[in-house]
Structure 1
Amino acid sequence: YLVIGLFAITMIFVLLLFCASAPYEVDSFSFVVDEKNGDDGNNGHNNHHAFKTIQRCVDELTISPLGDQCLIRHGRYHEEVNLHGLKGTPEIPYVLKGYFDERPVWDGTISIQPTHWDFDEETGICSATIEEEIFALLLNEELLTAARWPNALWSDKTIFNNSYWGHCSTKSSYGHIVDNGAAGLAESGINATGTMAILNIGSFDTYVRPVSYHEPGTDNFTYNHDMGHVHWLNSGNQYYLEAGLALLDAPGEWVYENTSKTLYIIPPNGICPDPSTTDLRGRTIDYGLSITNATGVTIANMTFIASTVHAFNSHGPHHTDGHIDEITLHSIYFKFPASSHRMLGSYALPKQTKLMANQKAPIGRISVINCTFIGSEGVTLIHDGLNNYIHNNLFWWNDWTGQDDRNGGTIKGWGRDTEFSSNTMWYNGATSGLRVGMSPTVKLNHVIGQCAGKIQSDGSGLQIQAHQQTGATVSHNWVHDSPKHGLRFDGDHGGLSGYQGFNVIWNTTGIMTKGDNHTVENNLAIDSHSECDLCVIYKLRHDTYIQNNLTDIINNAAMKADGGKNVFDGGRWPIAGETIENNYFNLDVKVNIEDADNWDFRPVDGGVLTQGSELIGPYEPGTASLTYWIPGQKLYKASTPIPPSGSFVSDSRNVVMFLGGYTADQHHFYFGSDEALVKYASMDDEEFRQSHSGDHNICLLPSLLSNTKYFWRVDVQWGGYVYKGDVWTFTTENN
């Protein structure tokens, strides 16, 4: 077989994924778009007669047969394209995609090249007059931070941490914020009047309003509280200030004043941008692509920078005329897809990626497959529809404000029967990772660090609200390293008949199950930083009624499990449920797991979790199946090594596991104690140990020596193509 490099295999991987999603081949015509060499007066039939703009090609599709496509050449396309009325089918969609292995950039920015910069040596501020109003600024395709107080930056991700927010005194009230002194508003000396205040004053809701009045040297300011009742927390409210020249004082910050059309920036390197060596770009558009009244459209294999997609029914969301259906985003890299307009004085919500089909129509499906979302403000993805499919995506470092006044989250769905599967969510800022519509299937997702910086209160990594629970299935997920609940069913009287099974939750505030008539089975919940790892609520705070009367609690393992706090006597309620069988709730549960600290959650064979008529927990013991389920996005290469690379493990360890490459045919395992030999080994060398087909991902190890560093890699094969995997390590310790 042919061993090939990263770029080539990435392109092959993307093409394989896209081709796999097409139900069957049809005769279709491909128009070509080339922003460098094309002309909209051409017919678009080939490279020599390419169109110049995407809009011109889309217009051609409106008079073309089903299945025709726009192949977009490499380049930057600064366009606001309107795709209206195309009527493809699921089997024969219209397609907009990158030209073969090229990835065009749908660009929401313009180049900023002032003829002259003024430089203030005392402050380090560069300033220049520019023509266009901008609301985000990128330097060499990395986001610069709108000037703010307290200081924090996108570049080091401190903007996700509430240690870099101001905190409200209990003297605060609607319309009047009093700083508690920890960040030192009074001592800062700034004049905050006219800046934008990001106000987390509603627990899980965050609002933005201009500062009406602030006197320098004082610890309080006013704003117009026109949002009505909010979930005010006297001891938990927090804020920061943004978008004012008075706040500009740190490298990596910027301000644009639209009254004078002046851009101010403190460059990270202290040198005013030189267009010959740096690429300074300002965002001027929100939606690069608007899709209206269309069906059967696929967008694939390209990058959106500071730009995103909006699909909707122009007649209104509940009209069947002009409905949206079978819209697919496939293998798209969204970098900074949504940006606020706070720099321009607007406190409206950022214009997020929105794909809005009609869930009440007989049809109306959205698919988002193998996409990446990074650096979005506000809710990262909003979708509505029937049988939506959100699969194998990566959501990372999104939403550092949490701005949403309607129970937001990283992903928010209003549809029915959505499948949200095999996604990775990495250190997103909002209080909730996922809020989803009616009767969803949520499986095989890996959620890490949700709201780790505590920029909002309440929340959960995976949260199913009360009226969405009937028929909901939440299974085979990992959620960890978050101050929020890992998995949560909201409740009171509305939450009924949901399923929580085979999930692993650790280093969170555990699993919270409210409502009734649920099934909670084969979960593992450990290392919670709350009073219970598995909380199946009996009575909630001062409520008089009992919850979970008909809930079944079966085959679960947890360090601490109960029915919640008894506010009447200060103790804890016993765990609620009608059937409570074959569970193991004990602080020593990790002793009965192979290696929980290194993500090996199999029960110890012969231990207490394997003694009953049914296994306790989400995994089988031993290696007989050669399969160990691992959640999250699959890549073009093997990933998620277990034990994690760099781990220390027992010298009695006998297996390693991995998450396989997406759609791979085979995986090839190499192992040894010499890094170079493992890195360069072929299947003819002794470091090659075995090959796996299908879902098999448990690799058997030889006997290990103590205090020895070992190396391993897994190659991924599709047909005759092989991608050589990363070299991972672990070090043995005495058992």
Structure 2
Amino acid sequence: MRPRHLSVLAAVMALPALPVQAHAADPGLARTYHVAPWGIDHAQGSPSSPLRTIAACLSRVRPGDTCLVHHGTYREQVTPPSGTKDAPITLAAYGDGPVTVDGTEPVTGWKDAGDGLVAADTNLPLDPDFDAVFLDDDRAAEGRWPNSGADPLNTTWAEADPTSTDQHIDDTDLPDADWTGATVHLWAGSNPWAQQTGTVTTTTPGKLDFKGGNYRCPPLCMGAQNYRNYYLVGSKAALDQPGEWYYDESAHRLYLVPPKHGMAGHTVTAKHRLWGVDLGNSSYVTVRGLNLWGTSLRTGPGSRGVVVDGLHATYISEFSTLPMPPDSDLAIPPFEGHIVASRILDSGVQILGTGNTLENSEISRSAGDGVLVRGTGNTVTDNYIHDVGWMGSYTPGIEINGNDHTVTHNTIRRTGRASIDTAWQVNGTEFHGNRIAYNDMSEAMRTSRDGSPFYVCCSLDGSGSSIDHNTSHDADGQVGFYVDNYSGHFLLHHNVAWNTGSRGTFFNGHTGPSIANQDHNSSYGVGVNGNSTLLSGATDASGSYLSNIVGPMPVSATRAGDPLPVVRSNLVTDKPGYTDAVNGELWLTDGSAAIDAGETIDGITTDARGTAPDIGAYEYGAPVWSTGCDLPGCGQRVRHGGWTATASDGTDASAAVDGDIDTRWTAAAAQTPGQSLTVDLGETKTFGRLSLDAGRDTSGQPYGFSVSVGRDGTHWSGALAQVSGRSFTQDAVFPAQTARYVRITLTASGPAPWVVNDLRLYGDGPDASATLQAEQATTVRGVARGTAATGVLGSGDRIGFRRASVTGDRLTVRLASTCATDCALQLRLDAPDGPVAATLPVRATGSTDTWQEQSVTLRRRLAGIHTLYLVAKGGPRVAALDWLTIHRK
């Protein structure tokens, strides 16, 4: 079935729609047409006589007209015509249920093909590199060796023998089969900062030759290297696991390993359309509330004024090879290293052109980009982008090419490489006027070891661009914010990073210039073990400026240039006075040495309170700003609350659960089935995913493990998930559990002891024991939402948080109020008029700009999942809200 958590946004989008107001030069001439699966295409298009296809509707519309699409699945390519600036065309879900534009077609006529296979004769029209097959609405894996699990970001690799050479693999474990014509996917070399593919030319037992890749050696060759990872795909010889498929292009035949009991009752579809919604030649069109399945959406270089709102796109891009980009795609002269830009321009949801917008959308499951924004003056805001970039080139969550774009309030999670990136090979070196702000970037660098969640390369001129108020954390790379190889004029400020490896921010001169780069008022926390901010390797660092930075490690810059870099007013300490560094709450507490200790910087320290600006990203006494989107699914990490761990071998396992990615627990002996690690969370938590971070040293990654849970540490569930594969971080996904204890048990042998740098848990919604930021509420009524806190709530106004995990008996709210009497905030469960869990009498704080934490005991202890509503009572100006939390006394 389709992933459970992906249906959340679809359900939200299916809420009853408000009447659509068409915008036309003459509103009296605007028409609204209806489309429904039960309609016919020569009908009138009225509510009682709808059209059958979206295409039929779009063939009739004129500027100012609207297509309202009723619930159902539409297997067609949608190509809207253009509206005008004053009279856009609208294509919108009607609001009576999900509307899905499906890029696949059913495959039927399955027959026995021998050797345990079935086959169907079918013509897949795409380039074979872009084929995709779905079994029972789940992605089916192309046949491969070695077999891997369902998660392409947690893949299983073969390891070549050290005698391998460039374009040749020796592997005594390679099955004896004819692999000629298969694709070999490589992640190899001394420092494999990208992956590559080639084609097998000859095979003999335990050996194969291939051609392709970029021939760059080192770091991307085989042989006696630190990494010799590879797998084979695209060969009928690899079909040995239920659900695997192989397409014989010459015979137009699709082969499949059937499910255990045969094909009866199962459905198979195959991808037929790359662009389910093709706006490549369209301008002034609004697309609202559509779902995409197995296909994507694009605007074109000439598109203007397109608004894409509430898109829910799943499995948007699939490909099996990483070819060198054609010279015509490159902005600078080609050389072999440009293979890292493979597939950037032909994957993802693509917002190209000028003045277009993607907002309030969930984009997931892509071999390449999540979103490509390219052109001038486009906006990407309030989107949830996850599980993308698994093929291992430089395709990120959001790829930004061009100038004057606005990329804000996005949550980007689980990416193969960067969360946000720009590729100079296809962008060129000009990167002017871009605003990248209030984005939350986590779980990046799943298929690379050299990079960061925010990454720019190379020789870029960032004049006029601002990278500010972003959070970067829990990543498998080296750095939180990385401005690489000769880039200059980048302004970073008020950014936050923790658990990013060696550095918080890195400006890499790399034996060249790194001019006029700045980092101001940033905060760095645990899991940064090299420098908080570093500018190094530059032959010329003129005009660079690092100030008002707080972190555990030094702030330093190469002493080269005229004028020399400025490094001052920074606080380097392991006790900066953060609220909760392990959970990323790096705002200051009373008495911190960072308060009023900073310097004034024009345009940067604009919210200073007290006698001087504070050092760091959060001004003490001001509302605490937050990052990321406010859609369902945007808040998922379970709060770390003093967990403890016990290893079956008796070793001290505290480093596995201290919340610091740079500390490590190592088992006492080589991996054998049955070795275990038991974690006590201290209280019950609700979660459905466990991430085991084994760091960037591949030798200690578990070869296989299972996860079970318990409420008392004695009685255990069965195995909720079985995980195999070797990657920096491995994820176990299972139905949501409410438990206090978690046990990880090895299920396979390995040559080295297993290691754990960090364990993280994730739920289906926010953890209410963490601070629930008011500006990230999933529902708001009667009050304006800002980048930090809300406006003043009046009686009856409310904010709500969908499906929060609640464990505790005390409510704390940070608020500001001038109400002297009879004002209160009610905490209600599951509905705005649901049961009252607590009533917090509001005490005046002196002004609506003076913030104070106020608390009340709940009527009863709460545990489990609830939608939480905070409802104002008592007058027209009750309180402004910053955040709330539900915790233990």
Q: TM-score, normalized by length of structure 2?
A: 0.65
Deviation of 1:632 (Å): 0.7
Aligned-partner Cα distance in 2 for 1:239–1:226: 15
User: 1:13 touches 1:636 (CA, 8 Å); kept in 2?
Assistant: no
2:137 & 2:780 partners in 1: Cα distance?
31
Pick the aligned partner of 1:376 from 366, 377, 389. Answer: 366
Instruction: Find the counterpart in structure 1 of residue 516 from structure 2.
Output: 517
Among residues 74, 92, 96, which one is paired with 2:87 in the alignment? 92
Aligned counterparts of 2:277 and 2:523: Cα–Cα separation in 1:
43
Q: Please report the RMSD computed on the Cα atoms of aligned residues, expressed in angstroms.
A: 4.4
Structure 1 Cα separation of the partners of residues 91 and 418 of structure 2: 35
Q: How far is the alpha carbon of 1:170 from its aligned partner?
A: 6.3
Q: Contact between 2:807 and 2:886, CA under 8 Å: does it hold in 1?
A: no
* Counterpart position of 1:361: none
| Amino acid of the structure 1 residue aligned with 2:468 | S
Q: Which residue of 1 aligns with 2:396?
A: 409
Describe the SS at the equivalent of 1:106. strand
Residues in 1 aligned to 2:870 and 2:53: alpha-carbon distance in whole angstroms: 38
Deviation at 1:649, TM superposition (A): 9.4
- For the pair 1:434 / 2:421, whether they are aligned, the reply is yes
1:701 alignment partner, SS class: strand
In the alignment, which residue of structure 2 is the partner of 1:319? none
Q: Please state whether the residue corresponding to 1:460 is helix, strand or coil.
A: coil
2: CA distance, partners of 1:240 / 1:283: 23
Q: How has the CA–CA distance of structure 1 residues 41 and 10 changed in structure 2, closer, same or farther, with 3 Å as cutoff? A: same
Counterparts of 1:422 and 1:79, CA distance in 2? 32
Conserved? CA contact 1:534–1:561, under 8 Å? yes
Aligned to 1:254: 245
1:22, CA displacement in angstroms?
Answer: 8.7
The corresponding residue for 1:661 is 778
Amino acid at match of 2:42: G
CA contact (8 A) 1:298 1:327 kept: yes
Q: Distance in 2 between matches of 1:427 and 1:205?
A: 17
Partner SS state of residue 425, structure 1: strand
* Residue 506 of structure 1: how far off its partner (Å): 3.0
- What is the correspondence of 1:92-491 to structure 2 with a 5 Å cutoff? 92-114=87-109, 116-118=110-112, 125-133=116-124, 135-153=131-149, 155=150, 157=151, 159-161=152-154, 164-167=156-159, 172-174=164-166, 176-179=167-170, 185-186=173-174, 188-200=175-187, 203-218=192-207, 220-224=208-212, 232=220, 234-236=225-227, 238-267=229-258, 270-274=260-264, 277-313=265-301, 323-340=302-319, 349=343, 351-353=346-348, 355=350, 357-358=352-353, 364-403=354-393, 407-431=394-418, 433-435=420-422, 437-452=431-446, 455-465=447-457, 466-491=459-484
Q: Measured at CA, do residues 206 and 160 of structure 1 come closer, stay the same or move farther in structure 2, by a change above 3 Å?
A: same
**Matching residue's letter, 1:142:** D
- SS for the counterpart of 1:390 is strand
Aligned match of 1:555 in 548, 551, 554?
548
What residue number does 2:533 align with?
A: 534
* Deviation digits for residues 466-485 of structure 1 (CA, Å, limit 9, x no counterpart): 42421221111111111224
Question: Which secondary structure does the structure 2 equivalent of 1:49 belong to?
Answer: coil
What are the Cα deviations for residues 692-735 of structure 1, in whole angstroms up to 9, with x where unaligned? 9999998633489xx9989986327899xxxxxxx986556xxx
- Which of 688-697 and 598-607 deviates more? 688-697
Q: Which amino acid aligns with 1:660?
A: A
Match for residue 73 of structure 1? 70
1:131 positional shift: 2.2
Cα separation, 1, equivalents of 2:629 and 2:253:
43
Contact 2:547 2:568 in 1 (8 A): yes
Q: Which amino acid aligns with 1:399?
A: G
- TM-fit CA distance, 1:142: 1.3
**How far 1:577 sits from its partner (Å)?**
6.5
Partner residue in 1 for 2:707:
none
Paired residues, number? 651
Give the CA deviation at 1:254. Answer: 2.2
Q: Is the 8 A contact 1:105 1:305 kept in 2?
A: yes
Gaps of 5+ in 2: 1-7, 126-130, 327-341, 424-430, 509-513, 598-611, 644-680, 684-767, 784-797, 812-826, 874-883
Distance (Å, rounded) in 2 between the aligned partners of 1:386 and 1:696: 40
When residues 456 and 168 of structure 1 are mapped into structure 2, their CA distance, relative to the original with a 3 A threshold, is: farther
Listed one character per residue, the Cα deviations across residues 470-519 of structure 1 (whole Å, up to 9, x for unaligned) are 12211111111112244434355441242333333433332112422233
How far apart are the structure 2 equivalents of 1:458 and 1:490?
A: 12
| Structure 1 residue aligned with 2:57 | 57
Aligned residue for 2:568? Answer: 581
Per the TM alignment, residue 210 of structure 1 is displaced from its structure 2 partner at its CA by: 1.9
8 A Cα contact 1:489 1:495, kept in partner: no
Q: In structure 2, what residue type is equivalent to 1:443? A: A
Corresponding position of 1:41: 42
Task: Please tell me whether the aligned partners of residues 641 and 728 of structure 1 are also in contact (alpha carbons under 8 angstroms).
Answer: no
Aligned-partner Cα distance in 1 for 2:79–2:836: 56
1:499 correspondence with 2:474: no
Q: How far is 1:296 from its partner?
A: 0.5
In 1, Cα distance between the equivalents of 2:357 and 2:588?
36
Taking a change above 3 Å as real, the CA distance of residues 29 and 708 of structure 1, as seen in their structure-2 partners, is closer
What amino acid is aligned across from residue 629 of structure 1 in structure 2?
W
Which letter maps to 2:476?
P
Residue 354 of structure 1, CA deviation: 5.4
Does the 8 Å CA contact 1:673/1:710 hold for their aligned counterparts?
no
Deviation per CA, 1:158-208: give whole Å up to 9, x if none: x3136x22345665554x1335x5xx543x334322111223469444333
2:854 is the counterpart of 1:700: yes
Cα distance in 1 for partners of 2:94, 2:872 equals: 22
Q: CA deviation at 1:60?
A: 1.2
Offset at 1:605?
A: 0.8
Following TM superposition, by how much is the alpha carbon of 1:31 offset from its aligned partner in structure 2, in angstroms? 1.1
User: What is the CA–CA distance in structure 2 between the aligned matches of 1:559 and 1:25, rounded to whole Å?
Assistant: 62
Q: Deviations over 1:635-680 (max 9, x none)?
A: 2699568957998799xx99943332266533269996399x9746
- Which moved further from structure 2: 549-558 or 528-537? 528-537
Mapped partners of 1:102, 1:379: distance in 2: 28
- SS across alignment from 1:700: strand
In 1, Cα distance between equivalents of 2:867 and 2:578: 25
Shift of the alpha carbon at 1:425? 0.9
The DSSP-based 3-state class of the residue aligned with 1:246 is helix
Task: Classify 1:103/1:479 alpha carbon distance in 2 versus 1 (closer, same or farther; 3 Å).
Answer: same
Tell me the CA shift for residue 382 of structure 1: 1.8
CA distance in 1, matches of 2:862, 2:48: 60
Question: What secondary structure does 1:324 align onto?
Answer: coil
Distance in 2 separating the partners of 1:217 and 1:432: 38
Distance 1:341 1:517, change over 3 A: closer
The aligned counterpart of 2:715 is none
Q: Which fold has the larger relative contact order, with Cα–Cα distance below 8 Å and residues 6 or more apart in sequence?
A: 1
Query: For the structure 1 residues 222 and 210, does the alpha-carbon distance in structure 2 shift closer, same or farther, using more than 3 Å as the test?
Result: closer
User: Retained in 2: the 8 A contact 1:205–1:408?
Assistant: no
In the TM superposition, residue 446 of structure 1 has moved relative to its aligned partner by 0.8
Calculate percent identity across the aligned residue pairs: 17
Residue matched to 1:317: none
Q: Distance in 1 between matches of 2:772 and 2:682?
A: 14
Query: For 1:230-271, what per-residue CA distance to the aligned partner results, in whole angstroms no more than 9, with x for missing partners?
Result: 96365446432112121122234222223344433335x522
